[in-house]
Amino acid sequence: MFAGGGGCLCVRVGQNRDMLRGRGTERAALEGLVGAARAGSSRVLVLRGEAGVGKSALLEHAVASGGEMRILRAGGVEPEAGLAFAALHQLLWPVTGLLDALPEPQRDAVRGALGLAAAPPDDARFLLSAGVLSLLTEAAADGGLLCVIDDFQWFDRASADAVLFAARRLRAEGVGLLLAVRDHAGVPVRDLPELRVGGLDEVSAAELLIERAAVAPAAPVLDELVALCGGNPLALGEVAGLLTPEQLTGRAALPDPLPIGAGISELFGRQVDGLPEPARRVLLVAAAEGTGDLGLVLDAAKRLGGDDPDVGPAESAGLVGVAGSSIRFRHPLVRSAVYAAADSGRRRAAHLALADALGGDLDRRAWHRAAASVGRDEEAAAELAASAGRARARGGYADAGAALARAADLTPDLAVRARRLTDAATASWLGGRPGQAETCLARARELADDPRLLAELAQLRGRFELCSGDAAEARRVFTEGAERARESDPGRALEMLADAAEAAGNVGDDEALVEIGRTAASFEGGDPFLRSVLVGIGAILAGDAGRGVPALRSALASADGLDQAARLMWASAAASHLGDIDASARHIIQAGRVARVSGMTGQLPVVLEFVATAERLSGRFTLSAAISDEGLALAREAGYTNSAAAHLANLAVIAAVRGRADDCERHAREALAIAIPHRVGLRASIATYALGLLDLTLGRFAAAHTRFESMVNAGPGAAHPISTWRSSPDRIEAAVGCGEAARPILTAYERWAANALTPQSQALVARCRALLAEDTNEAVAHYQEALRLHASGNGSPFEEARTSLLYGERLRRSHRGGDARGPLRAAMETFQRLGLDPWAARAHDELRASGESVARPEAVALNDLTPQELRIARLVAEGASNREVAARLFLSPRTVEYHLYKIYPKLGVSSRTELARLVAT
């Protein structure tokens, strides 16, 4: 299925000494990386430079520096850039014996991707990538690991994504990862440490020219050659060997243009032209084949006819090297020159001969058949589509998308072409190639006339928009598509209505949600649970609680046994519209757990948006921030722009409640820059709310009131009713603090909370009533009722502490300092435990003003943990093993062990039992 083991085909044969001349800085960087990996730290470095500048020689130097370390090597080869996981197979094959040490979901995903077992679950990209990280960590366990990857720009996308995922998460596993990539290559390595490999310095370049030239160059000629070659060692060496003594000594003019840069390919082309035809034929087939399989190359070259193929003259000329069963080009530009010099007919013939010679290697055969085709060719298209299906089954979505798009180009039948373009759009989107997905989608829509396919295309288009585009446009596409599919595909039509509701919810368009609910009630077929949720939400928003509440409660009654993340998220939405914050959070947190180990891991960034929000509303700010940090990284890797905005907005709220103004403003600004033009009102309103909450946290009540009012008064796409409802207690506090009217806010909040039977919701209503009570005794009664409700439920400790703070402030201002000290002390201790310094300071100041001299309590150690450490500590405290933690957080078990080694001393515990006890407090 894949090209076998060894290193890259396109390697330098000799001349490493020339390439390393004057490379002291680069060698030191590589030796430092190797030494760090040997000592147990992980380092990643990208070597970037033009072809021929010496990147491969530097990689060889790193390998030589590795000594007895375990070395894994791979090199991208252009003909295999569309074969999913071909490069990963090459890199990991020597260590597949370590797979049993991985957590089961990761192990199965890696085995499936490498063709060693059944395919992993659909869209298991993060499980696979985490499995690669775990496998590299296991391979580094005994003395460190050095991974050396050349020509990364030619890695297939599935392999590149998995390697980059691991690279961004390496910390202290003892892995050194080196990636060599050409200048201007479209590979997303910008966020990794990079070393620019430029030309040699003038002295080293001159030394190389003098050493390689037939005669000593004259000084002016030497200076001119150094300047013209730009220090490129390959260009310097080739030019020095080709110039005549007269040209070198200045007695004859230098060629114009000098054969460097693009001219190097022409130079190699002239060398190829001088070879006998049997040798040229071998070179052309080798250039088309790309992986260096000498037996396959000779077999295919023989099939082209003519004299028996002969590689000897090409080897004697130094254009290729033959070692064992491999044929290797001296340099990638040699291969490029050979391929470019052949006309299209000869290239197609070479690919066809390779396809015939490959036999049972169906994936490589399919690509060569496609390269040999002219015009429409259903047989070649079907082979390529089948190859795409195999890639998709292993999780190689981007490569499957490329194969399906090429198969569609070859497909004669318009209906089949539309089907393949649709599949290409889906695979490309899942593979993180939105541009290719949009192109395929547009082409498919021009061809499709089948109603069911048109419905599928509409749903795809809407989902693309919802994830990374205009949420209002997504709602329109879903709604219109659902109506068109109502008769031909009722099940999909209801799904599209649900998608439309999700989009409308993101926009903040309640009128659209009401209409979607009415439409869903008239639909037949599809999922009854989903219909009940849509009908119930629409009715609630229309003010018809008599119809909406029973529908939502009926849906929730069947939610306990749900085991799909998407359905759990709809259950959470139902609970939220009933005002049951606790149930909403419970369903969302369960959805996150399910998504991490299921086939929905590709949608995990979206699920984590709601998990992070649920944890924040429950008062677990540190954990919420840790989840949003993870979700933000995954959203950016997956290309889910709107999900990134959600995580940024949540991080802004958490920074606000902690009083971290710079972080709050930065996160909010980034979220708004995405959410406003994309009309994602839910995220825009949360980012704006964060800025108002920051003002409230810092005691700037008038500024907070102004900010909250701007959030409420903005229209759909910039505001959201849910944010308005949930922010009501904050808005009332800000209004009271600056002397503005707050009674209308309370009236609206009471209407919304009428269906919310949870203690948490009713506690907040009681607190708001207390704030607006003019009579102190009435206020005290409301505060006491609020605290009773807080204590009877499992709500947010932050909100309970705020109630205690406001209660104590009211008592102190009423000259009841003695009574105020109890609630103020409780508030201060809770705020301090949660790491909310501005709130703790406010309670502390109030406590001192009440007449009690008290020092601030010690900070809780949990607040000193990093986001990664906190996530691990929480799961371990819940009883998860290291392997289970690794599976759920897309880490390696050894990384979990490393973090626990740091967590225990930070928290002052020595066992899992002690850790669980501390986390539970």
- Residue 318 DSSP class: T
pLDDT on residue 519: 94
Q: Are 21 and 53 in contact (CB under 8 A)?
A: no
Same domain, 388 and 476: no
The burial class, CB within 10 Å (0-12 / 13-18 / 19+), for 323 is exposed
Give the whole-angstrom CA distance, residue 28 versus residue 35: 10
- Convert 464-478 into a string of H (helix), E (strand) and C (coil): HHHHHCCHHHHHHHH
* Residues 902 and 800 occupy one common structural domain: no
Looking at the structure, tell me whether residues 882 and 848 fall in a common domain: no
**Residue 368 falls inside a structural domain:** yes
Question: Cα separation of 558 and 446, whole Å?
Answer: 42
Please give the Cα distance from 430 to 420 (Å, whole number).
Answer: 15
Whether residue 385 is found in the same domain as residue 341 = yes
Q: How far apart are CA 625 and CA 248, in angstroms?
A: 66
Residues 678, 755 within the same domain: yes
Name the residue with tokens 């946290």. 697
Question: Does residue 419 form part of some domain?
Answer: no
Contacts of 514 (CB under 8 A, 6+ apart): 538, 539, 541, 542
pLDDT of res. 363: 92
The CATH number of the domain holding residue 814 is 1.25.40.10
Residue 802 sits in the same domain as residue 686 = yes
Both tokens assigned to 67:
């000594």
CA distances from 368 to 140, 278, 503 (A): 37, 21, 43
Kindly report each contact of residues 522-528 with a partner whose C-beta sits within 8 Å and lies 24 or more positions away, as own/partner.
523/486, 523/490, 523/493, 523/494, 523/497, 524/490, 525/490, 525/491, 525/493, 525/494, 526/490, 526/491, 526/493, 526/494, 526/495, 527/491, 527/494, 527/495
pLDDT of residue 517: 94
Domains: count for the chain: 6
| β-bridge partners, 181 | 48
Residue finishing a domain among 809, 827, 860: 860
Question: Domain holding 94: CATH number?
Answer: 3.40.50.300
pTM over 0.85: no
User: What pLDDT, on a 0 to 100 scale, did the predictor assign at position 298?
Assistant: 94
HSE-CB of 744 using CA atoms within 13 angstroms:
5
Beta strands 326-329; 320-323: pairing state: antiparallel
Q: Any bridge partners for residue 322, and if so which?
A: 327
Residue 6 lies in a domain: no
The pLDDT, as a whole number, for residue 598 is 55
The alpha carbon dihedral of 328, 334, 340, 341 has a sign of: negative
Give 700's contacts (C-beta < 8 A, 6+ positions apart).
none
User: 282 and 177 in one domain?
Assistant: no
Boundary of a domain, candidates 536, 558, 580: 558
Check residue 580 and give its pLDDT: 77
* C-beta separation of 51 from 331 below 8 A: yes
Residues 236 and 191 in one domain: no
- Residue 14: the pLDDT is 41
Summarised one tens digit per residue, pLDDT across range 298-341 is: 999 999 987 888 999 999 888 899 988 999 887 777 887 788 78
Cβ-in-10-Å burial (0-12, 13-18, 19+) of 563 comes to exposed
Q: Determine the Cα–Cα distance for residues 358 and 368; give it in Å rounded to an integer.
A: 9
Same structural domain, 550 and 514: yes
Clarify whether residues 186 and 238 are in a common domain: no
Q: Which CATH number covers residue 480?
A: 1.25.40
Is the domain of 634 the same as that of 746? Answer: yes
How many Å apart are CA 866 and CA 622, to the nearest integer? Answer: 9
Of the CA atoms within 13 Å of residue 350, those in its CB half-sphere come to: 24
- 460 within some domain: yes
- In whole angstroms, give the CA distance from residue 858 to residue 838: 15
Same domain as 819, residue 698: yes
Domain region containing 714: 620-860
Instruction: Classify residue 604: in a domain, yes or no.
Output: no
What count of Cα atoms within 13 Å lies in the side-chain half-sphere of residue 309? 23
Predicted pLDDT of residue 523: 85
Does the residue 762 lie in any domain? Answer: yes
Residue where a domain stops, chosen among 558, 577, 593: 558
Tokens 């009332």 label which residue?
732
Phi, psi of 48 (to 5 degrees): -120, 135
Angle value at C-alpha 742, between 740 and 747, nearest 5 degrees: 165
For the chain, which ranges sit under pLDDT 50? 1-14, 261, 599-600
- Distance of alpha carbon 393 from alpha carbon 114, whole angstroms: 11
What is the structure's pLDDT at 563?
Answer: 66
Q: For residue 171, tell me if it sits in a domain.
A: yes
591 in any annotated domain: no
